[in-house]
Amino acid sequence: MMKKAVLVVLIFCLAIGVSAATAAEKVVTMGIYQEPENLNTYIGVQTVITYVHRPFAEYLIDVNEKGEYVPVLASEVPSVENGGVSEDGLTITYKLKKGVKWSDGQPFTSADVKFTWEALINPKNLVKSRSGYELIESVETPDDHTAVVKYKEYYAPYLTRFAPVLPKHILGKLENMNDAPYNRMPVGTGAFRVTEWVSGDHITMVKNPYYREADKVKIDKLFFKIIPSREVGIAQIQAGDVDGVWDLIEAQIPMMEKNPEVSLCLSNGLVSERLIMNHSTTFPPNNGNPDYPHPILADLRVRQAIQYAVDKQIIIDKLLYGKAQPGTTEIPDGWAHNPNVKPTEYDPEKAKQLLEEAGWKPGPDGIRQKDGTRLRLKITTTTGNKLREMVEQVLVAQMKAVGIEFYIENVPSSVLFGSWSNDADRKKGRYDILMYTTGPGIDPHQQYEGYFHSKNIPTEANGGSGYNYTRHRDAELDKWLDLAGKAPSMEKRAEAYRKAQERVAQIVPHIYLYRRVNVHAFRNNVKGWKPNGYGIIDVVATWNVADWYVE
């Protein structure tokens, strides 16, 4: 009996020890309603990828909550004053921090910076954009802690490149990185490292023991829980099942503000919900080829009619509780915004007039027809997004009022935002109208050039690089975007962007519905996060995750 008693006590003590150790572990569980396609932001295009990659991936230069460039893997922000930028702006010298290691313990060096450039210009890598990188002539590495980037011509937003840096020792020996194991189980230099990804359920990260400031990281584990929808996330954060929820919507602010156990992370972003209209045929074998125009949307008058038929204010007032602003341009605020481009007016009679001029006549059921073709267009957005589904229903009704038939076919985010290698419809041009949110970072050039320059139409020849998904080609718009990327003067760049905004308003490749507010929620026990309306790639709540702690 004595032996049994001792054994019971021993088992009990061991259990207590395990329980205490578990209780001491600081874990933050974040709900995400989209599952990433991968965790390589150069290939994957979902916003959620940026959100999940920030804890492990780092940039040479980043942007803080004040909109200031700050060094991360670089030891200082290059400038003319500190000798990091040549007088002609063609040579950028990055001095790298010493003692930085990848999460597998290998040293981070200038060779990784050079490799990142080589990977992005490698035509075998199906990257989403090569903007700026194709203008680099060479990357020299005189020592392990110096990378000298030489441009063929001046590229104004040079500080936004190398975000993030890729590990040469992991990817350098591969023919391409399109299907590399790294994309799912990456190695980074950040505060956390990825240890597990269970599809459809969760992604686990633990504190990176090789992080150069590991002592300041107060969280032991990050758990990204994949949930069906925002609504499920709200229920779970209110119940305490998750500690944070990613990417809520403006309409949910009033309800969340009533919960004393939850705090909202709010920032005015530069992103807008919009309609993206395909200018090319959707049918194979010529789908995505701008030489073969869309039978309906290639006509400017039809695109203008759709724009006039949209009542943006009704959407904002009824579905967003007045918490958003009407969409205007790709740059809704900041140094390059054009205040003269106003929100488009709601004028269904003007819409009808334009459709009449384009030859679209009302049919027996009110839907217009032309040469035997019905004015019928598919609208697609992400499944599991209740707000977007409601907006679609409103748009269907508004279009029907002017004789246009919208029909809805939604798909998961991983399908809608899929890569060229995964044969995504957006990349291949097999769609009519898409609805989602996107927008520029601290410097608008990659976003603006990527979405609107004719050279950035994804094709077989360029491996699907670029995100001019509308497939429009406009020489005047190209001219202004080229100038905006090369002008040494910020004022000249701003003027070029303002001209570009005016031109986009004239040719209507996108219809801006409303400007988004970035909304994330945290339980009150999670501290240290800061709202940030700026970003190199995107605006995400995890930008300063190394500073978070749990009370």
CA–CA separation, 194 and 223 (whole Å):
10
DSSP per-residue codes, 233-299: HHHHHHHTS-SEEEEE-GGGHHHHHT-TTEEEEEEEEEEEEEEEE--B--STTSTT-TTSB-TTTTS
State pTM to two decimals.
Answer: 0.75
CA–CA separation, 516 and 535 (whole Å):
15
Q: What are the CA-CA distances from residue 412 to residues 48, 223, 409, 513 (Å)?
A: 13, 22, 11, 21
pLDDT of 423 > 80? The answer is: yes
Detail the DSSP E strand segments found in 6-49. Answer: 27-32
Amino acid, res. 125? N
Angle at 248 between CA 437 and CA 390, to 5 degrees: 65
Percent of the chain at pLDDT > 90 equals: 80
pLDDT of 13 > 70? The answer is: no
Q: What is the pLDDT of residue 535?
A: 81
CA–CA separation, 447 and 536 (whole Å):
10
CB atoms within 10 A of CB 500: 30
Ordered by where they begin, the domains of the chain are 270-516 (3.10.105.10)
CA–CA separation, 155 and 314 (whole Å):
41
pLDDT of 4 > 50? The answer is: no
Q: What is the pLDDT of residue 232?
A: 95
Confidence band of 251 (pLDDT split at 50, 70, 90): confident
DSSP code for 347 = -
Contact 353, 344 (CB under 8 A): no
Confidence band of 18 (pLDDT split at 50, 70, 90): very low
Q: What is the pLDDT of residue 17?
A: 41
Nearest to 246 by CA among 58, 48, 54, 532: 48
DSSP code for 107 = B
Q: What is the pLDDT of residue 407?
A: 98
Can you tell me the mean pLDDT for 221-233? Answer: 95
DSSP code for 442 = S
CA–CA separation, 276 and 470 (whole Å):
6
CA–CA separation, 406 and 93 (whole Å):
52
CA–CA separation, 427 and 418 (whole Å):
8
**Two tokens at 254?**
């009033």
Confidence band of 23 (pLDDT split at 50, 70, 90): low
Q: What is the pLDDT of residue 534?
A: 83
CA–CA separation, 113 and 93 (whole Å):
12
Confidence band of 425 (pLDDT split at 50, 70, 90): very high
CA–CA separation, 367 and 374 (whole Å):
7
Q: What is the pLDDT of residue 329?
A: 96
pLDDT 10s digits, 142-152: 999 999 999 99
Least confident of 73-77, 246-250, 504-508: 246-250
Confidence band of 392 (pLDDT split at 50, 70, 90): very high
**Average predicted confidence (pLDDT) for the chain:** 92
CA–CA separation, 272 and 274 (whole Å):
6
**Two tokens at 135?**
């203008």
Least confident of 166-170, 418-422, 497-501, 532-536: 532-536
pLDDT 10s digits, 292-318: 999 999 999 999 999 999 999 999 999
Residues sharing a CB contact under 8 Å with residue 171, sequence separation 6 or more, in sequence order: 115, 119, 177, 180, 182
